[in-house]
């Protein structure tokens, strides 16, 4: 696909009330593989954001009253259109976010699937009819859409984080205002174009792009017409948004940061564990909330596992995501590269041993490239273990007994996902059950699936996205007491 021609025809202004605004385009979008500006998009003011909420509020009643089958068929049509335009979506994501094209294509499949899944769920929203325990009255429950939703998404999965929110919201009968991350606005604008093309009515989905996230979303959160906030991003920003959401007692879904433990049991098939580790660590350049952050490995297999992982990661090709053969793209920006390299340097200063990698990949180009890195003998108190790395760095910690591994794994404020590798299924299940996380990959380095409930516990968030649970986040239960 010709990237320049694609960039030239992409929408670059807000999509509000079914129309593209004529706002000035002044927010620069960078290509992290070159460090240069790709293009500019519109930079919303608080007034523009409020216009998006006005449109969502105006469309709410008629969208809620639209037949579930019609809502589902619009989502299904959008799913098909995204698949038809997969090359465009993938190229845009690689350009603005940096992930290798093959991974971007994977995200198109994954992201589109949320629309197909929730197209099917739109017609399966049920209530119940029951006889009261003491007889006489009847207890009737029905589900109603929560109301207008503000969705705030991060830059790391520019398509899927949007569809994972818009899919269930639309299926449930809610209208949406979407504010994507300022680093990756283009994918969301392309998504708005698809929703427009397939005939989603005006006002049902509104997208604004901005460099002033707090100034634009704050007034929306303070407006009593907004009824729900769904956020994916850092725990720090999530905490502040929860505080703001408390003013109007908003329904909230929070998909926040992670610090995933990857536990290798003594019974592990080491080759399988290394493959799982490479996937869990390197997917999305390590810039995933599900990325394995700490490798907690039994002493009996630690040497073999560490050497295997270092060989696997050290052999990966780092470069521009658009280039054939690239397995590891650039980090999102210069700050991210500086932060991740500082974590490695500090760990080494704390006594860790650099097994492979360790710094900027100078030969990969001018962008924010980092060499895949494996650290051994890491101090459990090091920042690289305590904090979410969000980059291609794998710190290995060694344990002697399984209870110690569980304690190490749970010694974090986060609780999104954990990974367990072991061929002794009884032991592996025991560890999986003991992990204080919302999700576990058991002998599996990837768990994300639109048909499964994604989400965390502790500081990793509230609520679930995907699965049968996902639509519930956008529904209220109404009870009607019926006297006979």
Q: Of 30-38, 123-131, 256-264, 359-367, which segment contacts ligand NAP by CB under 6 A?
A: 256-264
CB contact at 8 A, 340 and 370? yes
Chain centroid offset of residue 246 CA: 23
Least spacing, CB of residue 69 vs ligand NAP, in Å: 30
Contact 155, 98 (CB under 8 A): no
Among 13, 31, 60, 156, binds ligand NAP (CB under 6 A): 156
Cβ-contact 200, 76 below 8 angstroms: no
* Binding piece for ligand NAP, criterion CB under 6 A, among 128-136, 188-196, 228-236, 421-429: 228-236
Binding mask 280-309 for ligand NAP (x = CB under 6 A): ---------x--------------------
- Cα gap 341→410, rounded to integer Å: 25
By CB under 6 A, tell whether 217 contacts ligand NAP: yes
Is 256 among the residues that bind ligand NAP (CB under 6 A)? yes
Q: Spell 252-288 as b/e; 16+ CB within 10 A means b.
A: bbbbbbbbbbbbbbbbbebebbbbbbbebbbbbbbbb
For the CB of residue 310, give the shortest distance to ligand NAP in the complex, in Å: 25
Instruction: Tell me how far, at minimum, the Cβ of 337 lies from ligand NAP, in Å.
Output: 14
| Residues that contact ligand NAP, how many (by CB under 6 A) | 28
Nearer to ligand NAP, 50 or 237 (CB): 237
Shortest Cβ contact with ligand NAP: which residue? 233
Alpha helices in 85-140 (DSSP H): 86-97, 101-121
Count of CB atoms within 10 A of residue 152's CB? 23
Nearer to ligand NAP (CB atom), residue 232 or residue 341: 232
Show the binding pattern over residues 172-191: x = contacts ligand NAP (CB under 6 A), - = does not: -------x-xxx--------
Q: Which is nearer to ligand NAP, 233 or 308 (CB)?
A: 233
Q: Does 416 bind ligand NAP (CB under 6 A)?
A: yes
Tokens 């006489």 -> residue: 136
In the structure encoding, which two tokens stand for residue 323, read together?
């280039």
- Given a contact cutoff of 8 angstroms between Cβ atoms, the answer to whether 455 and 254 are in contact is no
- Which range of residues in 5-13, 137-145, 151-159, 301-309 is near ligand NAP by CB under 6 A? 151-159
Residue 200 in contact with residue 173, Cβ under 8 Å?
Answer: no
Sheet holding 292-298, edge to edge: 353-356, 373-376, 393-399, 292-298, 260-264, 417-421, 439-442
Q: What is the distance between the alpha carbons of residues 453 and 447, in angstroms, rounded to a whole number? A: 10
Applying CB under 6 A, which of residues 152, 263, 310, 471 lies at the interface with ligand NAP?
Answer: 152
**Quick one: which of 28, 58, 237, 242 contacts ligand NAP (CB under 6 A)?**
237
Residues 44, 25: Cα–Cα separation, whole Å: 9
d(CA 165, CA 103): 21
- Measured between alpha carbons, how far is 321 from 335 in angstroms, rounded to an integer? 19
111 lines the binding site for ligand NAP (CB under 6 A): no
Catalytic residues: 255, 289
Query: Which of 293, 306 has the CB closer to ligand NAP?
Result: 293
Give 89 or 155: the residue with its C-beta nearer to ligand NAP. Answer: 155
Report the site for ligand NAP in 325-384 (rule: CB under 6 A): none
Is residue 276 a contact point for ligand NAP (CB under 6 A)?
Answer: no
Q: Of the ranges 59-67, 168-176, 209-217, 300-308, which one interacts with ligand NAP (CB under 6 A)?
A: 209-217
Q: What is the DSSP letter of 271?
A: H
Q: Which stretch binds ligand NAP (CB under 6 A): 62-70, 118-126, 154-162, 304-312?
A: 154-162
* Residue 98 binds ligand NAP, judged by CB under 6 A: no
Nearest by Cα to 340 from 296, 281, 415, 397: 281
Selected range binding ligand NAP among 63-71, 137-145, 212-220, 428-436, rule: CB under 6 A: 212-220
Instruction: Spell out the residues 6+ positions from residue 453 whose beta carbon is closer than 8 angstroms to its own.
Output: 438, 464, 465, 466, 467, 468, 469, 470
Maximum Cα–Cα distance across the chain = 78
Residue whose token pair is 């180009």: 365
Instruction: Choose, by CB under 6 A, the member of 72, 167, 168, 233 that binds ligand NAP.
Output: 233
Summarize as ranges the residues that interact with ligand NAP (CB under 6 A): 152-157, 179, 181-183, 213-214, 217, 232-234, 237, 240-241, 255-258, 289, 388, 416, 456, 461
């Amino acid at each position: 696909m010709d990237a320049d021609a694609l960039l030239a025809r992409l929408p670059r202004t807000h999509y509000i009330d079914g129309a593209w605004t004529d706002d000035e385009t002044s927010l620069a979008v960078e290509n992290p593989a070159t460090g240069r500006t790709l293009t500019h998009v519109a930079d919303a003011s608080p007034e523009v954001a409020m216009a998006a909420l006005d449109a969502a509020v105006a469309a709410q009643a008629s969208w809620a009253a639209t037949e579930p089958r019609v809502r589902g068929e619009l989502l299904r049509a959008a799913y098909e259109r995204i698949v038809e335009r997969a090359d465009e979506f993938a190229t845009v994501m690689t350009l603005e976010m940096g992930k290798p094209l093959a991974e971007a294509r994977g995200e198109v499949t994954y992201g589109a699937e949320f629309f197909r899944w929730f197209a099917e769920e739109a017609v399966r929203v049920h209530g119940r009819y029951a006889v009261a325990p003491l007889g006489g009255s009847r207890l009737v429950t029905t589900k109603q859409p929560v109301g207008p939703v503000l969705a705030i998404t991060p830059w790391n999965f520019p398509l899927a984080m949007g569809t994972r929110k818009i899919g269930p919201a639309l299926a449930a009968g809610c209208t949406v205002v979407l504010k994507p991350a300022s680093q990756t606005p283009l994918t969301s604008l392309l998504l708005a174009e698809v929703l427009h093309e397939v005939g989603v009515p005006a006002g049902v989905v509104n997208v604004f792009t901005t460099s002033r996230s707090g100034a634009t979303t704050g007034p929306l959160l303070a407006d009593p017409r907004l009824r729900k906030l769904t956020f994916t991003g850092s725990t720090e920003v999530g905490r502040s948004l929860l505080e703001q959401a408390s003013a109007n007692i908003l329904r909230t879904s929070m998909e926040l940061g992670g610090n995933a433990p990857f536990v290798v049991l003594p019974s592990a098939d080491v080759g399988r564990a290394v493959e799982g580790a490479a996937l869990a660590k390197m997917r999305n350049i390590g810039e995933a909330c599900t990325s394995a952050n700490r490798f907690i490995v039994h002493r009996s297999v630690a040497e073999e596992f560490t050497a295997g992982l270092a060989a696997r990661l050290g052999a990966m090709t780092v470069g521009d995501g658009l280039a054939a053969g690239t397995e590891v793209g650039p980090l999102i920006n210069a700050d991210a590269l500086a932060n991740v390299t500082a974590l490695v340097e500090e760990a080494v200063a704390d006594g860790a041993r650099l097994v492979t990698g360790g710094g900027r990949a100078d030969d990969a180009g001018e962008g924010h490239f980092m060499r895949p890195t494996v650290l051994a003998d890491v101090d459990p108190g090091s920042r690289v273990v305590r904090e979410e790395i969000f980059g291609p760095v794998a710190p290995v910690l060694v344990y002697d007994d399984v209870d110690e591994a569980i304690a190490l794994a749970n010694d974090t404020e986060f609780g999104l996902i954990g990974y367990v590798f072991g061929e002794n299924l009884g032991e592996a299940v025991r560890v999986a059950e003991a992990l204080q996380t919302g999700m576990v990959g058991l002998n599996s380095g990837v768990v994300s699936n639109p048909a499964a409930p994604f989400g965390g516990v502790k500081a990793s968030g509230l609520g679930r996205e995907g699965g049968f649970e996902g639509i519930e986040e956008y529904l209220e239960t109404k009870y009607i007491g019926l006297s006979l």
